[in-house]
Structure 1
Amino acid sequence: MNVTITPTLLKGTITPPPSKSQAHRLIIAAALSDGVCRLSNVELSQDIQATLRCMRTLNADASSDGTVIRGCNLVDGFEVPPPEIMDCGESGSTLRFLIPVALALQGGGKFTGHGRLMERPQGPYFDLFREKGIACSLEDGVLTVSGKLTPGEYALPGDVSSQFVTGLLYALPLLEGDSEIQLTTGLESRGYVDMTLDALSRFGVSVDYDGDRRFQVPGNQVYQHRDLAIEADWSNAAFWYAARLLGCSVEAAGLNPASVQGDRVIAAFCNRLREPGPVELDVSQCPDLVPPLAAMAALRDRETTRIGNAARLRIKESDRLSTVTEVLSALGADIEEQADALVIRGKAKLPGGVTVSGHNDHRIAMMAAIAATRCEKPVTITGAECVKKSYPRFWEDYEKLGGQLTRA
């Protein structure tokens, strides 16, 4: 689907969708629990559908809308991995969270995905598995892991992706003995690990984290069934914060200001971008905020913004440092791509009048839509259906706020 946006300022109040990051974590914990869990405020984005689908493969019983989940039947013995291939869609969270879980539950499994998912790095797991005698192979887009996950010490880097840490934090409590995760580098995207620790604690699973590089995980723990609601998502709310800074009268409702979601820092970043003078933003702990931040920076008239420590954006759904640069440049922004940063010199308006690709990346398509509100001529976004990955109703919400768009 292509959408063509006629530039106009947006106005109104919108409630962002439920947090995809929190939903992944609560669904997996519920599926590992000792009973029936009821989750409210679940939205079936493509990524959440992938996690539900994979948990069903691991013997959890989930309703079609993801609101009622019955825990897995834990399987003793590790002779034969489960026969089904787990289709993770384009969800890096689903894949990386569930690799250790499949090993702990059933001695392994087979995983596949779409888009760039199977190209994204899995090295930290592969290195660990070789040490632990766990077999792993990637052939024809199918990742196969097989072996027994054993309690003990696990060392891995903290600056590739926090998702590797989360996957182990879900699996290790299920083992018969105690374990320890030791990070060999500083932890980036710590807010996502905080969300994991919060989800585990809600289901009665304890982890001792020293706040730096060591996690001590007792074994023989039981996930206790719970009924919980999923919070509104700060990551997607960031696009409405961006619209507001660009001059739209938009309010994002229903957000928890005390949330453990790390992307709630968007409010503080917006305040910094409102100030005159050069601004430098460190996004090592919140890389998903770069597209909306870049849209805001592109329209800080005659002000320079540097968005740094962002190298990990190159291994997202697209190479986001490259695609942010390409799309905003096409709209008329003055933006420079560096190895791990973007340098943006703001303008009062952008010319627009072009067609840009959504690059099969939900956050790139939404960034283009928000930037289009301050363009002089219409903007067409191709592949606009990619927003379904995290925000299926984005275009409907855009129209509710007065956005003028046509679909083709």
Structure 2
Amino acid sequence: MLKALYPSELKGEVEAIASKSFVHRALIAAALSDIPTLIKGRIVGDDAAATASCLKALGSGIEILPEGYKVTPVGKARGKATLDCSESGSTLRFILPLACALGAECEIIGRGRLAQRPLAGLIKALSDNGAEIEGDTLPLKTGGKLRGGDYIVPANISSQYITGLLLALPILDGDSRIILKGEAVSAPYIDITLGVLELFGIEAKREAYGFYIKGGQKYISSGQTEAEGDWSNAAFFIAGGALGGDVTVKGLSLSSRQGDKAVIDILKRMGADITIDRGLVRAKKSALKGVTENLDKVPDLAPVLSIAAMRAEGATVFEGVRRLKDKESDRLSAIIEVITELGGKAEYKEGSLIIYGGCECKEAVLSSYNDHRMAMSAAIAAINHNKRIILDGSESVSKSYPDFFTDYKKLGGKADDIHS
């Protein structure tokens, strides 16, 4: 779908959607629990729906209610199931270990770039411990059943490998160790996982080598849990306020384990006027300056921070961006292409993404690269661009935030559908 985006000023208040990272993990924990669980919050997006769909295929009951998702435990897993992960890397890397832990015979499928996302290290760790997995990329077929043991995984590829194992291994009969090779990337996402495990009474002990997980544990539900607001998606409107307007985002937890709450500190270092009062995050139009930041632990912030950097005075250097190539799109190349199309300058040099402030503001036709974060970044770029932007593939926001353009327009953003 084509959208025309025009210069605008964002003003007003918006409610954060439920944290996608929390919801993925809570859905799985609830499906493994002793009683039904209500996960409350503004739960939206194709990725959360993909995890829910896979859990239903495994035998869980999922009911979508106005206040959230009601999850009935899996009980005994179905003998055979097709698990459609859609385009969600989280769903794939979390559901694969779970299916193997349950001993379910499954075909795991997906679409888009999902088959290109790294998976080999996780498959090997599972295969070394009783799983029978056919294929090294999608579609996969699973059989056999995991046993307790040593799960050796590369820690520098994706934290999702670790999360998938942390969620699945507690239900095995035997004890397990997750042995990490290399330094863990995106560590805050592992912290989110550990927080969800704690909520459901599961213990995973940190060790020098990684994690020790006692077998035979039971997921215990309180019957209800609240999903906190999503910092990753709120970052777009926080940046939008700093670039051109006065935006307040409500429903965010400042004590959250989500790494992407770092957007506040990064934008402040760039000169953004951001205040926090009683859980409300307010960002006002500011003169930004270039900075040097390492995004290794918060790669999902790279697209929108790059747009902010394009409007800053001086150069901005983002280190730790190698893994951007393995996201829903090759985000590293996509960011450089988008900034170039808009009239700015960016390059990848010696392991860092360098964005030079100052933009000529050319009228541009931008691709979303079928990537929700690139599509939302294009909308934020339009705020003070002074030229029309045509966005091709705006529907990709449905992956995480299908209501994005509704909220964008409520705040004053100008976006019109282009009908052929």
Interval of TM-score (by shorter of Structure 1 and Structure 2): over 0.9
Deviation at 1:133, TM superposition (A): 4.7
Verify: 1:366 aligned to 2:379, yes or no. no
Q: Structure 2: 5+ residue runs without aligned partners?
A: 273-287
**Alignment-mate amino acid for residue 25 of structure 2:** R
Structure 2: distance between partners of 1:297 and 1:39: 37
1:181-230 alpha-carbon deviations (Å, 9 max, x no partner)? 111111110100000000011011111114x5421101111111231011
Q: Please show how residues 120-199 of structure 1 align to structure 2 within 5 Å.
A: 120-138=117-135, 141-199=138-196
Deviation at 1:55, TM superposition (A): 0.2
**Aligned-partner SS, 1:284:** coil
1:106-143 alpha-carbon deviations (Å, 9 max, x no partner)? 24421110110011111111222343353322389411
Residue 78 of structure 1 corresponds to none
Whether the 8 Å CA contact 1:284–1:310 is kept in 2: the answer is yes
Across the aligned residues of Structure 1 and Structure 2, the Cα RMSD in angstroms comes to 1.7
Q: Please show how residues 30-49 of structure 1 align to structure 2 within 5 Å.
A: 30-49=30-49
Verify: 1:397 aligned to 2:399, yes or no. no
Deviation at 1:289, TM superposition (A): 0.5
Whether the 8 Å CA contact 1:311–1:339 is kept in 2: the answer is no
Question: Which structure has the highest strand share of the two?
Answer: 2
Structure 2: distance between partners of 1:255 and 1:198: 16
Structure 2: distance between partners of 1:350 and 1:256: 37
Whether the 8 Å CA contact 1:99–1:108 is kept in 2: the answer is no
Whether the 8 Å CA contact 1:321–1:341 is kept in 2: the answer is no
Structure 2: distance between partners of 1:407 and 1:294: 25
Whether the 8 Å CA contact 1:7–1:376 is kept in 2: the answer is yes
Residue 295 of structure 1 corresponds to 307
Q: Number of aligned pairs?
A: 400
**Alignment-mate amino acid for residue 170 of structure 1:** L
Residue 251 of structure 2 corresponds to 254
Whether the 8 Å CA contact 1:29–1:203 is kept in 2: the answer is yes
**Alignment-mate amino acid for residue 213 of structure 2:** V
**Aligned-partner SS, 1:84:** strand
Whether the 8 Å CA contact 1:187–1:213 is kept in 2: the answer is no
Whether the 8 Å CA contact 2:293–2:319 is kept in 1: the answer is yes
Whether the 8 Å CA contact 1:103–1:145 is kept in 2: the answer is yes
**Alignment-mate amino acid for residue 67 of structure 1:** Y
Structure 1: distance between partners of 2:133 and 2:371: 28
* TM-score, L = length of structure 1: 0.94
Deviation at 1:84, TM superposition (A): 2.3
Deviation at 1:376, TM superposition (A): 1.7
Structure 1: distance between partners of 2:129 and 2:364: 53
Residue 105 of structure 1 corresponds to 102
Q: Please show how residues 69-108 of structure 1 align to structure 2 within 5 Å.
A: 69-75=71-77, 82-108=79-105
Structure 2: distance between partners of 1:352 and 1:235: 28
Residue 11 of structure 1 corresponds to 11
Structure 2: distance between partners of 1:354 and 1:325: 14
Residue 214 of structure 1 corresponds to 210
* TM-score, L = length of structure 2: 0.91
**Aligned-partner SS, 1:116:** helix
1:163-189 alpha-carbon deviations (Å, 9 max, x no partner)? 000111111100111111111111110
Whether the 8 Å CA contact 2:120–2:136 is kept in 1: the answer is no
Whether the 8 Å CA contact 1:59–1:73 is kept in 2: the answer is yes
Whether the 8 Å CA contact 1:42–1:67 is kept in 2: the answer is no
Whether the 8 Å CA contact 2:170–2:216 is kept in 1: the answer is yes
Deviation at 1:51, TM superposition (A): 0.5
**Aligned-partner SS, 1:223:** coil
Choose 276-285 or 55-64, whichever is displaced more: 276-285
Percent identity between the two aligned chains: 38
Verify: 1:235 aligned to 2:229, yes or no. no
Structure 2: distance between partners of 1:15 and 1:352: 32
Structure 2: distance between partners of 1:250 and 1:264: 16
Residue 23 of structure 2 corresponds to 23
The one of 354, 363, 370 equivalent to 1:353 is 363
Whether the 8 Å CA contact 1:102–1:109 is kept in 2: the answer is yes
Verify: 1:282 aligned to 2:294, yes or no. yes
Verify: 1:58 aligned to 2:58, yes or no. yes
**Aligned-partner SS, 1:129:** helix
1:284-303 alpha-carbon deviations (Å, 9 max, x no partner)? 111101011101100002x1
**Aligned-partner SS, 1:132:** coil
Structure 2: distance between partners of 1:119 and 1:289: 22
